[in-house]
Amino acid sequence: MIFQVGRYGWSVGAVFVPAGTIITIGAGDVYSQAAVGKTIPMDCTPMDDEAKAALAAQQKRVGYKYPY
């Protein structure tokens, strides 16, 4: 799963991921390791199909209604 953190950043436990950071789940960097097993942030930009599905599931979970 690959996604870009939104403009406010993302607090993942004791780690703060700066805005614009690209997270690749399974990569070896600190931010990607901190994100493993966490819920995808609502203001992220999904960059693959798995991230799109995770974001859609998160939006459905919180009751997000599409404008159409």
Decide if 15 is inside a domain: yes
Say how many C-beta atoms besides its own lie within 10 A of residue 47's C-beta: 15
Confidence of residue 64 (pLDDT cuts 50, 70, 90): confident
Strand partners, 3: 23, 46
Q: Is the pLDDT of residue 7 over 70?
A: yes
Residue 41 lies in a domain: yes
29 is a domain residue: yes
Residue 14 belongs to domain spanning: 2-61
**Does the residue 28 lie in any domain?**
yes
Residue 68: pLDDT band (50, 70, 90) is low
Q: How many domains does the chain have?
A: 1
pLDDT band of residue 49 (cuts 50, 70, 90) is: very high
Task: Determine, yes or no, domain membership for 66.
Answer: no
> What H or E segment, with its residue span, contains residue 8?
none
Asked whether the predicted pLDDT for residue 44 surpasses 90, the reply is: yes
